[in-house]
Amino acid sequence: MSRQWNCEGRKLGRQEEIECIRYFRQSPVWDRVFGGFREKYVSYGKFTGNVVLRSVSQEELETLEGFFGKSFHGQKSITISAEKFGKALGDSRFGAVEPVQLLELFFGERMVGRREEIEAGERRRREILEQAAVRYAATAAADWLPLLSEMLWGGRTRNITEWARQLFLSADIMNALPYRQDRLLYLAVFATEVTGNPHAFDRGSEDGELLFRLIQMDCRARNIVIPEQKIFPTFTRQRYFLKTGILLDDLSNYALLFGMHAVKADGGIHPGMEGFAEEGDMLQVPMAVIARWKEVSCPDRTAYIVENPSVFAVLCGKMQGKAACMCMNGQPKMAALLVLDLLAAAGVKIFYAGDFDPEGLLIAQKISEYYQGEFEFWHMGAEDYESCRSNEGISDRRLKSLQNIRDERLLPVVRLLQECRVAGYQEKLLGVYQL
């Protein structure tokens, strides 16, 4: 559709528009000139200022001289003022066109100053916020809307459309947090319920990071403090999500348990744990189950924790009814840390046994530092290492990590490992693991 300009009492016709634009698009120099004046308009809200052209070609120079009726010969740069351009335009055959109208014709868009743009944006924001207030009235998100609006506008996005999308998404998230319905959902399930896309909140995505910010805000509002974990820092994020009823990991996040009793969040005894304890069977418990536990208990308020599954299986056979046991199966999972938290709260004393290699000693130290209850290393002294030495050498790179061992109880073994340069394994100590 042709745009019609009112100028000096007459309308600019379509043919005149075409001729005007055709003329100014014949030379690239006008892209530079008009681009400069557009920037000035955005800044000041009017056609004003100077545009400085450098490195002007001979062809561009001739174009400018023809339009302005002035010689620029020998000039290294050419300054074109808004006033001079307006006069030259008025004296040309396109004198019916105002400079601002020409910019709009040339770029195919309405010129908007920054102030006008900001004011229009604020009006649109208020309109959208009013719509959101109606949509989310009488929901948990209603009280959050003003804070969400400011947080999102002051964040990485200033695009009104994107801001609106994130505002409504944030409100939907706040309303859907599973803890409000006493639910526990895996992240992909939660994402599907809120957005229809199971990967919408994947880590590293913009909406995934938005979800984490909202979860942190919700926790602060409920006075929930999640201390920064120095020992297992990667699990801090998981703890935040758990407080809102969202599980980050899949079913591979579990704890291997034996002889433990559990109390659910509603105060009832967990019948499954009772049954396995009565049968004297070990079991693999997913984090989704452990996250719903309120308490755990162990015979004699004692638990034995080992690193290796094979050792765990043998110990379970020895412990029938006499003690509880847990297997870390290498680096601790979040599920195992949740069990440790419950054991500490119950006043359970832990005896821990692991492999005699740099990785095993570092795990042992981390668990000792993490556990908030009574803790004792179990058969992890120098004599035990001598009894379970293997022929498997330890590289210099791995030995170097022993420098991170600070626990004085482990230092005698550290010195032996550095001297002997071979690993020792729990499996050779099965005969000495006695209750």
Distance, in Å, from the CA atom of 324 to the CA atom of 297, rounded to the nearest integer, reads: 9
If you search the block for the tokens 């200033």, which residue do you land on?
Answer: 158
Whether residue 375 sits in one domain with residue 401: yes
Q: Quick one: 97 and 122 in the same domain?
A: no
Number of domains in the chain: 4
Check the CA dihedral 19-20-21-22 and report its sign: positive
Q: 221 and 335 share a domain?
A: no
CA distances to 9, 175, 426 from 170, in Å: 52, 9, 50
Q: How confident is the model at residue 11 (pLDDT cuts 50, 70, 90)?
A: low
Residue 72 has pLDDT above 60, yes or no: yes
If you search the block for the tokens 């043919």, which residue do you land on? 15
- Phi-psi sector, 389: left (phi>0), alpha (psi -120 to 50), beta: beta
Place of tokens 């609106």: 164
- Same domain for 17 and 160? no
Specify whether the CB–CB gap between 132 and 143 falls below 8 A. no
Evaluate whether residue 1 is within a structural domain: no
Same structural domain, 140 and 228: no
Residue with the two structure tokens 């990667």:
234
What is the per-residue pLDDT for 308? 93
Domain boundary among 129, 148, 176: 176
Distance CA 50, CA 68 (A): 15
Q: Do residue 341 and residue 310 come from a single domain?
A: yes
Is pLDDT above 50 for 10? no
The reported pLDDT for the residue numbered 409 is: 96
pLDDT at 61 over 50: yes
Which range is least confidently modeled, 147-156, 203-212, 333-342, 417-426? 147-156
Q: Each residue of 17-52: pLDDT tens digit? A: 788 888 898 888 999 999 898 888 878 888 889 999
> What's the pLDDT tens digit per position in 307-361?
999 999 999 988 887 899 999 998 999 999 999 999 999 999 999 999 999 999 9
How many helices and strands in the chain, by DSSP H and E?
A: 19, 16
Helix boundaries (H) for 177-320:
187-195, 206-221, 236-243, 271-279, 287-290, 309-319
Residue-level pLDDT at 55 = 87
Buried b (16+ CB within 10 A) or exposed e, 158-186: eeeeebbebbbbbbbbbebbbeeeeebbb
Residue 261 Cα distances to 59, 336, 344, angstroms: 89, 15, 14
Higher pLDDT, 297 or 108: 297
In the predicted model, what is the mean pLDDT of the chain? Answer: 89
**Is residue 298 one of the residues assigned to a domain?**
yes
Q: CATH number of the domain at 285, please.
A: 3.40.1360.10
Q: Are residues 271 and 356 in the same domain?
A: yes
Pair 420, 313 in one domain: yes
Q: Which helix or strand (DSSP H or E) is residue 52 part of?
A: strand 50-54
Question: Does residue 410 contact residue 369 with C-beta atoms inside 8 Å?
Answer: no
Residues 90 and 99: their CA atoms lie apart, in Å, by 9
Domain-embedded: residue 434: no
Q: 206-240, pLDDT tens digit by residue?
A: 999 999 999 999 999 999 998 887 888 888 999 99
Pairing of strands 375-377, 6-7: unpaired
Instruction: Give the tens place of pLDDT for each residue, 79-118.
Output: 999 899 989 988 888 888 888 888 888 888 887 767 777 7
Strand-pair partners of 50 = 81
Identify the band that residue 3 occupies on the pLDDT scale cut at 50, 70 and 90: very low
Domain span holding position 207? 179-248
Is the model's pLDDT at 371 over the cut of 90?
yes
Determine the distance from the C-alpha atom of residue 288 to the mean position of all C-alpha atoms in its chain, rounded to a whole number.
22
Question: How would residue 2 be classed by pLDDT, with cut points 50, 70 and 90?
Answer: very low
Overall pTM > 0.85? no
User: Where do runs of H (alpha helix) occur along 136-246?
Assistant: 145-153, 160-176, 187-195, 206-221, 236-243
Which string of DSSP letters, residue by residue, matches 253-267? -EEEEES-EEEETTS
pLDDT confidence tier of residue 249, bands split at 50, 70 and 90: low
pLDDT of residue 9: 36
Does 435 map to a domain? no
User: Do 302 and 278 share a structural domain?
Assistant: yes
> Given pLDDT bands bounded at 50, 70 and 90, which one contains residue 120?
confident
